[in-house]
């Protein structure tokens, strides 16, 4: 889809919601903690937000219906994907377009010896190919041959380096430090291929260690990260990508985190878009329940059937004996409501499984590059500290496979919070206080 079309469709729905709300740009911008000019650019189609969280908050302020929230997220996904492809294309300039004196062809040309001009009366140079009777090869042809040979040698060297550095020839998240992976990257193992390991993702953290201190994220050999550009998904043979947001909020009132720190050392509650950084900074774990937003999108025009999502438990322990921190400010009203494509799972069950929320359909669903799907999962737990992940089964024509969906190579982690000291952060206050002690005026 052309960039201007995707961005225009996204902006058109934003303007519709804004106009229907009757609120001015200034009022909305103030409530969203952004500048008025930035909000103008979003609604005019001049810019696409890099994060969906402020878009969703804007839609909720404008009283968007659940169906409109799903459609808005779908349009944002398309606009954001087109923008990402444009940025990648700009970063990869072909050698022939790089200009004189800057490309590898120029360097090879300077390194190659120039062709000597034949002197008068000298016999002609030997033919370049005696079998074809071709004439003398120009210096330009020899230069091009040298360039191609150099590129071939470099490609072989890179292949050898990858084979030595990465076991099984797979990809490893250490190479780029995770800079190019989305929150909640998904490993890919297609059916019929040998998986990198027969064991599921496991947590290296004990109940007393932060969830984020589990080592670098890794993806199984022969897999492609979720959210990878269309070309990467197609090269790996997987026609679908998944982007998991493990720190999404159904509403500020519903989200809580456990942290092994006293209230005096805790920062104030973040906005939703800052939740992942806040969790990492405090070594926190989702408390009582975890709300996941999964965006599933095809990598090409063909239809991919999402056959189902399976919950896999990687470990169970006694619930964490940490303090419980509520993200809602006392007295602040909370929105919410059941989303389309919403599912619930109890991690306390011996065999946890997803069930559709009332009024929602169950799998299978269909996706393509131009028609993504968004799934909302609420995982609840009270009696355990659980490491878990998801397996998404897909099929397209005569192909099928499974995507392992987790938190950047680590399992999701959710712990019960019964009996734990609970804290809240009063509006205008300067610190956390025991929950229920705040007096509302």
407 touches 181 (CB < 8 A):
no
Q: What is the pLDDT of residues 379-413, one digit of tens each?
A: 999 999 999 999 999 999 999 999 999 999 999 99
What was the pLDDT predicted at 378?
Answer: 94
3-state secondary structure 271-300: CHHHHHHHHHHHCCEEECEEEEEEEEEECC
**Mean pLDDT to the nearest integer, 434-440:** 75
Q: Residue 156 CB: number of other CB atoms within 10 A?
A: 10
Classify burial at 146, counting beta carbons within 10 Å of its beta carbon; exposed 0-12, middle 13-18, buried 19 or more: middle
Q: What is the pLDDT of residues 190-234, one digit of tens each?
A: 443 333 333 444 444 444 444 443 333 333 333 334 444 333 444
What is the C-alpha to C-alpha distance for residues 43 and 24, in angstroms, rounded to an integer? 12
DSSP 349: S
What was the pLDDT predicted at 141?
Answer: 45
Mean pLDDT over each residue of the chain, to the nearest integer: 73
Q: What is the pLDDT of residues 339-368, one digit of tens each?
A: 689 999 999 999 999 999 998 999 999 999
**Mean pLDDT to the nearest integer, 306-327:** 96
433 touches 426 (CB < 8 A):
yes
Domain extent listing, the chain? 3-90, 182-434
Q: Which of 84, 81, 101 is nearest to 92 (CA)?
A: 84
What is the C-alpha to C-alpha distance for residues 296 and 390, in angstroms, rounded to an integer? 13
79 touches 47 (CB < 8 A):
no
Q: Which of 52, 47, 17 is nearest to 35 (CA)?
A: 47
Q: What is the homologous superfamily of the domain 3-90 according to CATH?
A: lambda repressor-like DNA-binding domains (1.10.260.40)
What is the C-alpha to C-alpha distance for residues 299 and 233, in angstroms, rounded to an integer? 6
What is the C-alpha to C-alpha distance for residues 417 and 381, in angstroms, rounded to an integer? 8
What was the pLDDT predicted at 92?
Answer: 54
What is the C-alpha to C-alpha distance for residues 249 and 247, in angstroms, rounded to an integer? 6
345 touches 313 (CB < 8 A):
no
What was the pLDDT predicted at 345?
Answer: 96
- Comparing 171 with 307, the larger pLDDT belongs to 307
pTM score, whole prediction? 0.54
11 touches 42 (CB < 8 A):
yes
DSSP 387: E
pLDDT band of residue 57 (cuts 50, 70, 90) is confident
Q: What is the pLDDT of residues 127-158, one digit of tens each?
A: 444 344 444 444 444 444 444 444 444 443 44
What was the pLDDT predicted at 413?
Answer: 97
**Mean pLDDT to the nearest integer, 247-267:** 90
Q: What is the pLDDT of residues 100-110, one digit of tens each?
A: 444 433 443 33
54 touches 34 (CB < 8 A):
yes
What was the pLDDT predicted at 329?
Answer: 66
Phi, psi (5° rounding) for residue 92?
-110, 90
What is the C-alpha to C-alpha distance for residues 58 and 319, in angstroms, rounded to an integer? 36
């Amino acid at each position: 889809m052309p960039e201007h079309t995707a961005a225009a469709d996204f902006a058109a729905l934003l303007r519709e919601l804004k106009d229907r709300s009757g609120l001015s740009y200034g009022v909305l911008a103030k409530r969203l903690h952004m500048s008025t000019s930035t909000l103008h650019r979003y609604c005019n189609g001049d810019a696409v937000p890099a994060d969906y969280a402020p878009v969703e908050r804007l839609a909720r302020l404008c009283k968007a219906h659940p169906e409109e929230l799903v459609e808005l997220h779908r349009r944002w996904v398309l606009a954001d994907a087109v923008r990402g492809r444009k940025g990648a294309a700009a970063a990869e300039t072909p050698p022939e377009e790089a200009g004189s004196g800057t490309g590898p062809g120029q360097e090879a040309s300077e390194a190659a010896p120039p062709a000597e001009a034949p002197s008068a009366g000298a016999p002609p140079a030997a033919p370049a190919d005696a079998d074809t009777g071709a004439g003398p090869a120009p210096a330009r042809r020899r230069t091009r041959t040298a360039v191609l040979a150099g590129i071939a040698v470099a490609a072989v060297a890179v292949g050898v380096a990858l084979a030595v550095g990465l076991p099984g020839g797979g990809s490893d998240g250490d190479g780029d430090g995770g800079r190019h992976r989305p929150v909640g990257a998904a490993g890919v193992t297609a059916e019929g291929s040998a998986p990198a390991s027969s064991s599921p993702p496991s947590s290296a953290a004990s109940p007393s260690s932060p969830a984020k201190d589990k080592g670098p994220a890794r993806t199984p050999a022969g897999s492609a990260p979720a959210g990878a550009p269309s070309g990467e998904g197609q090269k790996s043979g997987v026609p679908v990508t998944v982007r998991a947001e493990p720190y999404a909020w159904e509403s500020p009132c519903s989200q809580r985190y456990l942290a092994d720190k006293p209230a005096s050392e805790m920062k104030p509650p973040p906005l939703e878009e800052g939740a992942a950084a806040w969790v990492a900074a405090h070594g926190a774990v989702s408390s009582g329940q975890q709300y996941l937003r999964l965006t599933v999108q095809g990598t090409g025009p063909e239809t991919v059937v999402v056959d189902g999502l399976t919950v896999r438990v990687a470990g169970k322990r006694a619930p964490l004996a940490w303090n419980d921190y509520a993200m809602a400010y006392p007295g602040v009203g909370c929105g919410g409501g059941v989303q389309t494509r919403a599912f619930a799972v109890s991690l306390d069950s011996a065999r946890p499984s997803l069930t559709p929320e009332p009024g929602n359909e169950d799998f299978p669903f269909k996706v393509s590059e131009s028609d993504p799907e968004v799934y909302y999962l609420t995982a609840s737990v009270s009696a355990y500290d659980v490491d878990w992940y998801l397996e998404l089964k897909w099929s397209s024509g005569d192909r099928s496979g499974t995507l392992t969906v987790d938190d950047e190579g680590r399992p999701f982690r959710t712990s019960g919070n019964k009996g734990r000291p609970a804290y809240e952060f009063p509006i205008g206050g300067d610190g956390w206080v025991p929950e229920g002690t705040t007096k509302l005026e």
